[in-house]
Amino acid sequence: MSSAETYALLEQKMPSYPDYASIPVIESEEPLVPLKNNELLDSLQIDPAMLAVTGTAVYVREEVADKLQVVAENLAARRPGSQLQVVYGYRALAIQRRLFEAVKAGLPPEMSEPEMLAAAHRMIAVPEVAGHPTGGAVDLQITDSSAPLDFGTDIWTFQPGSYTFSPYISPRAWQNRQLLREVMLQTGFAPFDGEWWHFSYGDKEWALHYNQPSARYNQLDFTTPNLDG
Ligand SMILES: [Zn+2]
Protein backbone atom coordinates (compact mmCIF):
# COMPACT_ATOMS: atom_id res chain seq x y z
CA MET A 1 0.00 0.00 0.00
CA SER A 2 1.34 3.47 -0.87
CA SER A 3 1.65 6.11 1.84
CA ALA A 4 -1.10 8.13 0.10
CA GLU A 5 -3.47 5.15 0.37
CA THR A 6 -2.51 4.59 4.01
CA TYR A 7 -3.20 8.24 4.86
CA ALA A 8 -6.53 8.14 2.98
CA LEU A 9 -7.56 5.14 5.12
CA LEU A 10 -6.53 6.93 8.33
CA GLU A 11 -8.50 10.00 7.26
CA GLN A 12 -11.62 7.94 6.61
CA LYS A 13 -11.66 6.98 10.31
CA MET A 14 -11.73 10.62 11.43
CA PRO A 15 -15.11 12.29 11.98
CA SER A 16 -16.19 14.79 9.34
CA TYR A 17 -18.19 18.03 9.56
CA PRO A 18 -21.69 16.43 9.20
CA ASP A 19 -20.89 14.15 12.17
CA TYR A 20 -20.62 17.22 14.41
CA ALA A 21 -23.23 19.52 12.91
CA SER A 22 -26.25 17.91 14.61
CA ILE A 23 -24.82 17.68 18.15
CA PRO A 24 -26.65 20.09 20.52
CA VAL A 25 -24.86 22.12 23.20
CA ILE A 26 -26.11 22.56 26.76
CA GLU A 27 -23.82 25.37 27.86
CA SER A 28 -22.20 24.79 31.27
CA GLU A 29 -21.49 28.53 31.85
CA GLU A 30 -18.01 27.66 33.16
CA PRO A 31 -15.66 30.64 32.85
CA LEU A 32 -12.48 30.77 30.80
CA VAL A 33 -9.42 30.89 33.05
CA PRO A 34 -5.70 31.40 32.31
CA LEU A 35 -3.53 28.31 32.79
CA LYS A 36 -1.18 28.65 35.75
CA ASN A 37 2.32 27.35 35.20
CA ASN A 38 4.11 25.14 37.73
CA GLU A 39 6.78 22.45 37.73
CA LEU A 40 4.46 19.93 36.03
CA LEU A 41 2.49 22.17 33.67
CA ASP A 42 3.87 24.76 31.32
CA SER A 43 1.89 26.90 28.90
CA LEU A 44 2.84 29.31 26.21
CA GLN A 45 0.70 31.09 23.65
CA ILE A 46 2.22 30.44 20.23
CA ASP A 47 -0.36 32.15 18.01
CA PRO A 48 0.67 35.82 17.52
CA ALA A 49 -2.90 36.63 16.41
CA MET A 50 -4.12 35.74 19.92
CA LEU A 51 -1.79 38.19 21.70
CA ALA A 52 -4.34 41.01 21.29
CA VAL A 53 -7.08 38.78 22.77
CA THR A 54 -5.50 37.00 25.72
CA GLY A 55 -1.94 38.33 25.90
CA THR A 56 0.65 35.61 26.38
CA ALA A 57 -1.58 33.45 28.60
CA VAL A 58 -3.35 30.31 27.35
CA TYR A 59 -7.03 30.40 28.36
CA VAL A 60 -9.26 27.31 28.75
CA ARG A 61 -12.53 26.48 30.53
CA GLU A 62 -12.15 26.06 34.28
CA GLU A 63 -12.74 22.30 34.28
CA VAL A 64 -10.27 21.86 31.41
CA ALA A 65 -7.63 23.70 33.47
CA ASP A 66 -8.30 21.39 36.45
CA LYS A 67 -8.10 18.30 34.25
CA LEU A 68 -4.83 19.41 32.65
CA GLN A 69 -3.26 19.65 36.11
CA VAL A 70 -4.38 16.05 36.81
CA VAL A 71 -2.95 14.94 33.44
CA ALA A 72 0.35 16.66 34.28
CA GLU A 73 0.48 14.83 37.65
CA ASN A 74 -0.28 11.45 36.07
CA LEU A 75 2.31 12.10 33.39
CA ALA A 76 5.00 12.97 35.94
CA ALA A 77 4.21 9.72 37.78
CA ARG A 78 4.49 7.72 34.54
CA ARG A 79 7.59 9.50 33.26
CA PRO A 80 9.45 11.40 36.01
CA GLY A 81 10.98 14.68 34.82
CA SER A 82 8.28 15.21 32.18
CA GLN A 83 6.29 18.40 31.86
CA LEU A 84 3.00 18.88 30.03
CA GLN A 85 3.35 21.87 27.70
CA VAL A 86 0.17 23.52 26.39
CA VAL A 87 0.72 25.79 23.38
CA TYR A 88 -2.89 26.66 22.46
CA GLY A 89 -6.26 26.72 24.19
CA TYR A 90 -9.00 29.27 23.52
CA ARG A 91 -8.99 30.79 20.04
CA ALA A 92 -11.08 33.90 19.32
CA LEU A 93 -14.08 33.13 17.14
CA ALA A 94 -13.06 35.95 14.75
CA ILE A 95 -9.68 34.26 14.18
CA GLN A 96 -11.33 30.88 13.56
CA ARG A 97 -13.70 32.53 11.03
CA ARG A 98 -10.82 34.28 9.24
CA LEU A 99 -8.78 31.03 8.96
CA PHE A 100 -11.82 29.09 7.78
CA GLU A 101 -12.82 31.65 5.14
CA ALA A 102 -9.25 31.70 3.79
CA VAL A 103 -9.28 27.91 3.33
CA LYS A 104 -12.78 27.97 1.82
CA ALA A 105 -11.76 30.67 -0.66
CA GLY A 106 -9.07 28.33 -2.02
CA LEU A 107 -11.57 25.57 -2.91
CA PRO A 108 -12.98 25.04 -6.43
CA PRO A 109 -15.96 27.44 -6.86
CA GLU A 110 -18.08 24.74 -8.53
CA MET A 111 -18.34 22.86 -5.21
CA SER A 112 -21.72 23.00 -3.44
CA GLU A 113 -21.91 24.68 0.00
CA PRO A 114 -22.16 21.36 1.91
CA GLU A 115 -19.21 19.95 -0.10
CA MET A 116 -17.20 23.11 0.66
CA LEU A 117 -17.95 22.94 4.39
CA ALA A 118 -16.91 19.29 4.54
CA ALA A 119 -13.74 19.82 2.47
CA ALA A 120 -12.64 22.98 4.32
CA HIS A 121 -13.37 21.33 7.68
CA ARG A 122 -10.69 18.73 6.93
CA MET A 123 -8.12 21.54 7.05
CA ILE A 124 -9.61 23.93 9.61
CA ALA A 125 -12.73 23.35 11.70
CA VAL A 126 -16.00 25.04 10.68
CA PRO A 127 -16.33 27.88 13.28
CA GLU A 128 -19.77 26.70 14.51
CA VAL A 129 -18.40 23.29 15.55
CA ALA A 130 -14.74 24.21 16.24
CA GLY A 131 -13.24 23.19 19.57
CA HIS A 132 -10.68 25.92 20.23
CA PRO A 133 -13.25 28.80 20.29
CA THR A 134 -15.13 26.95 23.07
CA GLY A 135 -12.12 26.89 25.41
CA GLY A 136 -12.45 23.10 25.53
CA ALA A 137 -9.72 22.17 23.03
CA VAL A 138 -5.98 22.23 23.65
CA ASP A 139 -2.83 21.66 21.62
CA LEU A 140 -0.05 20.19 23.72
CA GLN A 141 3.11 18.12 23.91
CA ILE A 142 5.40 16.59 26.50
CA THR A 143 8.76 18.18 27.30
CA ASP A 144 11.77 16.97 29.26
CA SER A 145 14.17 19.66 30.56
CA SER A 146 12.15 22.09 28.38
CA ALA A 147 12.91 20.14 25.17
CA PRO A 148 9.96 18.46 23.41
CA LEU A 149 10.07 14.67 23.21
CA ASP A 150 10.32 13.16 19.72
CA PHE A 151 6.76 13.04 18.33
CA GLY A 152 7.73 12.34 14.74
CA THR A 153 6.83 15.87 13.63
CA ASP A 154 7.05 19.20 15.41
CA ILE A 155 3.83 20.34 17.02
CA TRP A 156 1.59 22.33 14.63
CA THR A 157 3.16 20.79 11.54
CA PHE A 158 0.14 20.20 9.33
CA GLN A 159 1.05 17.22 7.17
CA PRO A 160 -0.10 13.58 6.94
CA GLY A 161 2.79 12.52 9.20
CA SER A 162 0.96 14.40 11.96
CA TYR A 163 -1.90 11.86 11.86
CA THR A 164 -1.58 10.20 15.26
CA PHE A 165 -1.41 6.70 13.80
CA SER A 166 0.92 7.45 10.89
CA PRO A 167 3.04 4.29 10.45
CA TYR A 168 5.89 6.38 8.99
CA ILE A 169 7.33 7.55 12.31
CA SER A 170 10.00 5.96 14.53
CA PRO A 171 9.04 3.50 17.31
CA ARG A 172 10.17 6.13 19.84
CA ALA A 173 7.88 8.79 18.31
CA TRP A 174 5.00 6.27 18.21
CA GLN A 175 5.53 5.52 21.93
CA ASN A 176 5.57 9.21 22.82
CA ARG A 177 2.33 9.86 20.89
CA GLN A 178 0.68 6.92 22.63
CA LEU A 179 1.88 8.12 26.06
CA LEU A 180 0.36 11.58 25.43
CA ARG A 181 -2.86 9.99 24.14
CA GLU A 182 -3.11 7.63 27.13
CA VAL A 183 -2.64 10.30 29.82
CA MET A 184 -5.13 12.62 28.08
CA LEU A 185 -7.84 9.96 27.55
CA GLN A 186 -7.37 8.65 31.08
CA THR A 187 -8.59 12.04 32.35
CA GLY A 188 -11.57 12.20 29.99
CA PHE A 189 -10.20 14.19 27.06
CA ALA A 190 -11.11 13.09 23.53
CA PRO A 191 -8.43 12.76 20.84
CA PHE A 192 -8.40 14.18 17.32
CA ASP A 193 -6.40 11.64 15.38
CA GLY A 194 -5.64 14.04 12.51
CA GLU A 195 -3.26 15.97 14.78
CA TRP A 196 -1.32 14.07 17.47
CA TRP A 197 -1.24 17.24 19.65
CA HIS A 198 -4.98 18.12 19.68
CA PHE A 199 -7.37 16.98 22.43
CA SER A 200 -10.60 18.36 23.81
CA TYR A 201 -13.14 18.17 26.60
CA GLY A 202 -16.74 19.38 26.52
CA ASP A 203 -16.85 20.38 22.84
CA LYS A 204 -18.63 18.58 19.99
CA GLU A 205 -15.58 16.46 19.21
CA TRP A 206 -15.62 15.23 22.81
CA ALA A 207 -19.39 14.58 22.70
CA LEU A 208 -19.04 12.54 19.51
CA HIS A 209 -16.07 10.52 20.77
CA TYR A 210 -17.77 9.61 24.05
CA ASN A 211 -21.24 9.27 22.54
CA GLN A 212 -22.68 12.03 24.76
CA PRO A 213 -26.17 13.37 23.93
CA SER A 214 -24.85 16.96 23.99
CA ALA A 215 -21.69 19.04 24.24
CA ARG A 216 -21.01 21.26 27.30
CA TYR A 217 -19.28 24.24 25.73
CA ASN A 218 -20.42 26.74 23.10
CA GLN A 219 -18.09 28.95 21.09
CA LEU A 220 -17.37 32.18 23.00
CA ASP A 221 -16.43 35.76 22.21
CA PHE A 222 -13.89 36.69 24.85
CA THR A 223 -11.11 39.20 25.49
CA THR A 224 -9.21 39.12 28.73
CA PRO A 225 -10.10 42.18 30.89
CA ASN A 226 -6.43 42.46 31.85
CA LEU A 227 -5.63 43.79 28.38
CA ASP A 228 -8.12 46.69 28.56
CA GLY A 229 -6.59 50.12 29.10
ZN1 LIG B 1 -5.89 22.17 18.02
pLDDT tens figures, 50-96: 999 999 999 999 999 999 999 999 999 999 999 999 999 999 999 99
Q: What is the pLDDT of residue 228?
A: 54
Whether 165 and 193 have beta carbons less than 8 Å apart is answered as yes
Ligand 1 centroid distance, CA of 129 (Å): 13
Ligand 1 centroid distance, CA of 229 (Å): 30
Residues whose CB is less than 8 angstroms from the CB of residue 166 and which lie 6 or more positions away in sequence, other chains included: 6, 7, 10, 152, 160
pLDDT tens figures, 149-171: 999 999 999 888 999 999 999 99
Whether 192 and 205 have beta carbons less than 8 Å apart is answered as yes
Q: What is the pLDDT of residue 197?
A: 97
Ligand 1 centroid distance, CA of 163 (Å): 13
Give this prediction's pTM: 0.94
